[in-house]
Amino acid sequence: MQTDPLWYKDAIIYQTHVKSFKDSNADGYGDFRGLIEGLDYIQQLGATCVWLLPFYPSPLRDDGYDISSYESINPTYGTIEDFQSFLDAAHERGLKVITELVINHTSDQHPWFQRARRAPKDSKERAWYVWSDDPNKYQGTRIIFVDTETSNWTWDPIAQQFFWHRFFSHQPDLNFDNPDVLEAVKNVMRFWLKMGVDGLRLDAIPYLIERDGTNCENLPETHEVLKNLRSALDAEYQNRIFLAEANQWPPDVRPYFGDSDECHMAFHFPVMPRMYMALRKEDRTPIVEIMRQTPEIPNDCQWAIFLRNHDELTLEMVTDEERDYMYKEYARDMRMRINVGIRRRLAPLMDNGRRQIEIMNALLMSMPGTPIIYYGDEIGMGDNVYLGDRNGVRTPMQWSTDRNAGFSEADSAALYSPPVVDPPYGFQGINVTAQERTSTSLLRWMRRLIAVRREFKAFGRGTWEPLHPDNRRVLVFLRRYKDELILCVNNLSRFAQYVELDLREFQGMVPVELYSKNGFPPIGELPYLLTMGPHNFLWFRLMPPEQAKQYVGQRS
Ligand code: GLC
């Protein structure tokens, strides 16, 4: 089958860690063989693409984002052949695969760093990383991991110089002013693309280049590096994509799409916390406001929308006041906080409220972009705030009530992380097997939601046009693509609401509800009145009466 070059626009991405998904050899760590076994499940959910967190050799001090060898597999997860088998198995099912290209930094155990620190000062080899005799250089640069780091410079006793790192002090930043580094990184990229990987998530790309007198983020030279990588991608491969991790305000993210000559996709970081804020405030304003500030992007580019991921719910892209509000509402317990954010999963953030979880997922599936589901959130998994760093949201996938949640047959003590055990999120209650059995389960509801979304291209490709009804507790928008016209109505409130919509532009058309295929009364001259239950959402297709005939009056 021909691949549509814009496949990523219609994708549903499932994000998981090999380590956390399924352990096939009872050593306590998930592996590629286990992941292959889990592919049916991912496919049945309706996902079309798997995004894997880093699986390369690593001291695992940053869960694999500290890479010590770029072109191999952490032996705990399998072999390169296992990876190839996984890739083939995914492709056979029509699933795409996105992996990580972590190029801003390496582990300090990487041979490049080991060579650099021992090479003479000012030598070519030393210059693979960013060094200084003066730890006051680049003063205007913020520290990202404020909980653990006090400076972006760390003294290296072997090199007798300070090295630069935007993240942990065991993760030295590569020096992209050095053309050898760029070439080496391109070869890493080619290595994985040649194996057949469909997309690369470009980790932490705003920080590739440093310059005096700037905040060392989003610099024009950084964009040059990305254009360079993209031109190699386009020249040598087809239908492969870059997904940008640029945790920045919308106007600063926009350049990462370039003129369709940088990244195909970028996470929409600022809208993420605002979906939570809008729900808790019962007011659509935070979402509408950030979308108003979101620039247009080129036609072949796409936002990636997410509710949760492997990191904390970052509050870097909100105002101080908004941050206080989020902490107060979603992280009263200090243990839930880390860096500038909240380390919790979706279900606990929603206090396990089924309606709340549903409407958040409805937003995930209907906001403009490609949705990313974080493994386990589709069954409402909980987290463990007693684990260090962000490990509380990285616990084993809960498959069944069997030992170790059906994740692994190892001794419990051998697991990379304990599974969640306490009610209401413990694996005895929350697991895939139980939810397969119950037609009302969250998992089965998620499958239906995704199936409905996949019927219409408008969700992935259409416009996003907010309506402005008086009742601000209701978020209403249109998604338009070719002859598809979808109306999404979301009651953010915990109480019933009514909303009057100005739909005069569509007079005569019939709203057909997408789940039931029930035709609603045609749109007339008067405001269109809808009554919404608590946290209720409705998706309609607006259809000309002739086409809607089959749906009208069938079920009374
Ligand atoms: C990215 C990853 C995060 C990691 C950081 C540093 O932001 O998402 O998990 O800690 O890079 O490598």
Residues with CB under 6 A from ligand 1: 62, 65, 167, 171, 203-204, 245, 310-311
What are the pLDDT digits (tens) for 342-392? 999 999 999 999 999 999 999 999 999 999 999 999 999 999 999 999 999
CA of 310 to the centre of ligand 1 (A): 9
| Whole-number pLDDT of residue 555 | 54
Task: Using the predicted structure, report yes or no on whether residue 90 has a pLDDT greater than 60.
Answer: yes
Overall CATH class of domain 7-107+176-453: alpha beta
Average pLDDT, the chain: 97
Domain 111-164 fold: Oligo-1,6-glucosidase; domain 2 (3.90.400)
Distance between CA 414 and CA 408 in Å, rounded? 10
Assess whether 525 carries a catalytic annotation. Answer: no
Q: Judge whether 475 and 497 are in contact, CB under 8 Å.
A: no
Residue type, 211: R
Q: What does the alpha-carbon distance between residue 183 and residue 461 come to, in Å, rounded to a whole number?
A: 35
How far is the centre of ligand 1, averaged over its atoms, from the C-alpha of 319 (Å)?
22
Instruction: Give percent of the chain above pLDDT 70.
Output: 99
Question: Which residue's alpha carbon is nearest to atom 10 within ligand 1?
Answer: 62
User: How many A from CA of 207 to the centre of ligand 1?
Assistant: 12
CATH no. for 463-548:
2.60.40.1180
Q: What is the pLDDT of residues 5-42, one digit of tens each?
A: 999 999 999 999 999 999 999 999 999 999 999 999 99
The answer to whether 510 touches 543, Cβ cutoff 8 Å, is yes
Q: Residue 145 C-alpha to ligand 1 middle, in angstroms? A: 10
Residue nearest to atom 9 of ligand 1 (CA): 311
Among candidates 352, 373, 355, which has minimal Cα distance to 14? 373
- Report whether pLDDT(4) > 70: yes
Q: Ligand 1 atom closest to Cα of 104?
A: 12
CA of 539 to the centre of ligand 1 (A): 35
**532 C-alpha vs ligand 1 centroid, how far in Å?**
40
What 472-478 contacts at long range (C-beta under 8 Å, 24+ apart), as own/partner pairs, is 472/283, 472/284, 472/285, 473/282, 473/283, 473/284, 473/497, 474/284, 474/499, 474/532, 475/278, 475/284, 475/287, 475/288, 475/363, 476/501, 477/366
For the CA of 311, the nearest atom of ligand 1 = 9
The position carrying tokens 């972590």 is: 102
Beta bridge partners of 485: 480
Q: Closest Cα to atom 4, ligand 1: which residue?
A: 65
Q: Tokens for 159?
A: 């090199």
Q: Which of 209, 256, 376, 390 is CA-nearest to residue 312?
A: 390
CA 468, 469, 472, 477 torsion: positive or negative? negative
Sign of CA dihedral 349, 354, 357, 363: negative
Separation of 144 CA from ligand 1 center, angstroms?
A: 10
Region(s) of the chain under CATH 3.90.400.10: 111-164
Coil vs helix vs strand at 182? helix
d(CA 314, CA 329): 15
409 is catalytic: no
Per residue in 517-553, pLDDT (tens digit) is: 999 999 999 999 999 999 999 999 999 999 999 888 7
Residue 552 has a pLDDT of 82
Closest ligand 1 atom to Cα of 309: 8
Whether residue 406 has pLDDT greater than 70: yes
Taking the CA of residue 247 as reference, the ligand 1 atom at the shortest distance is 7
Looking from the CA of residue 145, the nearest atom of ligand 1 is: 10
What is the helix (H) or strand (E) element at residue 454, kind and residue range? helix 442-454
pLDDT in tens, 265-314: 999 999 999 999 999 999 999 999 999 999 999 999 999 999 999 999 99
CA distance 166 to 173: 7
| Nearest ligand 1 atom to alpha carbon 102 | 12
Catalytic residue of the set 203, 312, 377, 378: 203
**Residue 162 predicted with pLDDT over 80:** yes
Ligand 1 center to 57 CA (angstroms):
16
Which residue's CA is minimally distant from atom 7 of ligand 1? 204
CA-proximal residue: ligand 1, atom 8 (nearest): 311
Pocket test for ligand 1, best of 55, 100, 203, 393 (most atoms within 8 A of CB): 203
Q: How far is the CA of 515 from the centre of ligand 1 (A)?
A: 38
Structure tokens at 391: 């490990």
Phi, psi (rounded to 5 degrees) for 159:
-75, -20
- Distance CA(264)–CA(111), nearest Å, equals 31
Residue 499 predicted with pLDDT over 60: yes
β-bridge pairing 465-466 and 49-52: unpaired
CATH 3.20.20.80 spans which residues of the chain? Answer: 7-107+176-453
Q: Which of 245, 312, 358, 377 is catalytic?
A: 245
Predicted confidence (pLDDT) per residue in 413-452, tens digit:
999 999 999 999 999 999 999 999 999 999 999 999 999 9
Q: What's the confidence (pLDDT) of residue 57?
A: 98
* Residue nearest ligand 1's atom 3 by CA: 311
Q: Where in the chain is the domain with CATH 2.60.40.1180?
A: 463-548
Residues 82-86: what's their mean pLDDT? 98
Closest atom of ligand 1 to CA, residue 62: 10
Select from 65, 313, 317 the residue to mutate for testing ligand 1; criterion: most ligand atoms less than 8 Å from CB: 65
Q: Is the pLDDT of residue 207 over 60?
A: yes
Residue written as token pair 């063989």: 33
Task: Tell me: pLDDT of 1 over 70.
Answer: no
